[in-house]
Amino acid sequence: MFRTAIPLGRWAGVVVRAHWSVLVVLLLITDLLASAVLPQAAPGANTTWYWVTGGLTATGFLVSLLLHELSHATVARHHGVTVRRITLWMLGGMAEFEGEPQTPKADFRIAVAGPLASLLIGGTALGGAFLAAGALPPLPVGGLAWLGVSNLLLAVFNLLPGAPLDGGRILRAVIWWRRGDRARAGAIADRSGQVLGAVLAMAGFAQLVFLGQFTGLWLVLLGWFLIFAAQAEFAAGPLRERLGGLLVGDIMNSAPVIAPGWWTVDAFAEYAAGASHERVFPVLSFDGVPLGVVSLGDLLKVPADARCATRITDVARKDRAVTVVGVDAPVAALMERGFPRSGRDLVLVTRAGGLAGVVGADDLAWAFEVTALDHRPRIAGGQASKLTTGH
Ligand SMILES: [Zn+2]
């Protein structure tokens, strides 16, 4: 999800980025404020000022969304759960965790941190608007008040008890604490997320059809997303339990066939034809630095007459879509990034900057099936085969 997002920077090691759909939200909120909310709250002002205040307030709203997610991330880190990145998108913010909270208490605290931040921001903004009501012109006061109310609504909405909303996480933590069974608690929270999603989608649909309000579409989208996300979590639950504690280093292929970046497509194709049945390869630079991934399918896209002149490094995929993890990353965290496609994707596993191995679709399936048979994957941790051939 969100393979194309604009990086905004880092906050305490967490990558913060925005999906392009956030721009749509920024425009929609600005428009809503400039053409409806603000003219009502502060009539008679200049049109330009409505748009300026609207734009600033909408930006403030996105910043408060980010603060909500960063609160989750800060508390998570305190409890030993790493947050890899935060993405702002059309329906809000999303923090991607690496690993799981170890206790119901940690689970609860991480979940509750976001809504608490939104309540705090909402309360502060509303209080500020109230205090400034006489001293400042009505336009900024109106913007501040809207920011306050929308943050309070954000907190309340996020507290609805269904995963993946914060309220669903809180529900999971409470059931986990009461019954001592995390998997069961997670399943209940996911199921209630699906029900909640259906209710929201139906409410939005009714709003759209019976009241003719276009904003109903928003609820439909949101409900739909909730159903989808809760379903995906529910499906991944048993897998996650089973893979719990396994590290990427335990399941990786530590001696993959390597594609030297400086070889030509033709030379490598000839080598691959005789080397193995692999269809996707890690690409290394001459110095052994992992550059990306190349599949036979990628090579096929090079026109036949260009294969002698094109180098592997020119056709390798090295964008952000290529997943790179350390040997000590949990396998469960890998699953959260989407399943690698067979014959096309490969997770590059690194140790101290060098390639330690790779994980492909088959390796993951193998790990899952072996653990399902109640055995732990164990492979003698070999070194990645070093390149000995020049060409
Ligand atoms: Zn949250």
Domain boundaries, the chain: 5-159, 248-372
**163 vs 70 pLDDT, higher one:** 70
How far apart (Å, rounded) are the C-alpha atoms in residues 155 and 265? Answer: 54
Neighbours of ion ligand 1 (CB under 5 A): 114, 166
Amino acid at 249: G
The CA 165 to ligand 1 mean position distance, Å, reads 7
DSSP strand pairing (92-98 vs 82-89): antiparallel
The CA 111 to ligand 1 mean position distance, Å, reads 6
Q: What's the DSSP call for residue 212?
A: -
Listed in order, strand segments (DSSP E) in the chain are: 5-11, 14-19, 82-89, 92-98, 259-260, 280-284, 290-295, 324-326, 347-351, 354-359
Contact 293, 345 (CB under 8 A): yes
**116 vs 240 pLDDT, higher one:** 116
Four-residue CA torsion sign, 339, 67, 153, 216: negative
Residues forming the active site:
69
- Please give the backbone phi and psi of residue 326, each rounded to the nearest 5 degrees, phi first: -85, 160
What pLDDT is stored for residue 383 in this prediction? 39
What pLDDT is stored for residue 1 in this prediction? 54
Say whether 144 sits in a helix, a strand or coil: helix
Computed over every residue of the chain, the mean pLDDT equals 85
pLDDT tens, residue by residue, 188-211: 988 899 999 999 899 999 988 888
Contact 186, 157 (CB under 8 A): no
Instruction: State the residue for tokens 């997320």.
Output: 193
Contact 173, 108 (CB under 8 A): yes
Pick from 189, 58, 57: nearest CA to 128: 57
**25 vs 237 pLDDT, higher one:** 25
pLDDT tens, residue by residue, 315-348: 998 865 567 788 888 787 776 666 788 888 888 8
Pick from 291, 283, 322, 295: nearest CA to 3: 322
* Percent of the chain clearing pLDDT 70 (strictly above): 92
Contact 40, 145 (CB under 8 A): no
Task: Give me the torsion for CA of 160, 122, 221, 26, rounded to 10°.
Answer: -170
Contact 5, 18 (CB under 8 A): yes
CATH number belonging to the domain at 248-372, selected among 3.10.580.10, 1.10.540.10, 3.30.1330.50, 3.40.50.10490: 3.10.580.10
Confidence of residue 121 (pLDDT cuts 50, 70, 90): very high
The CA 136 to ligand 1 mean position distance, Å, reads 32
How far apart (Å, rounded) are the C-alpha atoms in residues 107 and 177? Answer: 10
What pLDDT is stored for residue 280 in this prediction? 92
Q: Taking residues 256-285, what's their average pLDDT?
A: 90
The CA 166 to ligand 1 mean position distance, Å, reads 5
How far apart (Å, rounded) are the C-alpha atoms in residues 194 and 202? Answer: 12
Per DSSP, what are the bridge partners of residue 98? 82
The CA 88 to ligand 1 mean position distance, Å, reads 12
User: Quick check: 350 pLDDT over 80?
Assistant: yes
What pLDDT is stored for residue 240 in this prediction? 67
Round the CA-based radius of gyration of the chain to a whole number and report it: 25
pLDDT tens, residue by residue, 283-322: 999 988 888 999 999 999 999 999 999 999 999 988 655 6
Q: Cβ–Cβ contacts within 10 Å for residue 40, how many?
A: 8
User: What DSSP string describes 79-119?
Assistant: TT-EEEEEEEETTEEEEEEES--SSHHHHHHHHHHHHHHHH
**147 vs 182 pLDDT, higher one:** 147
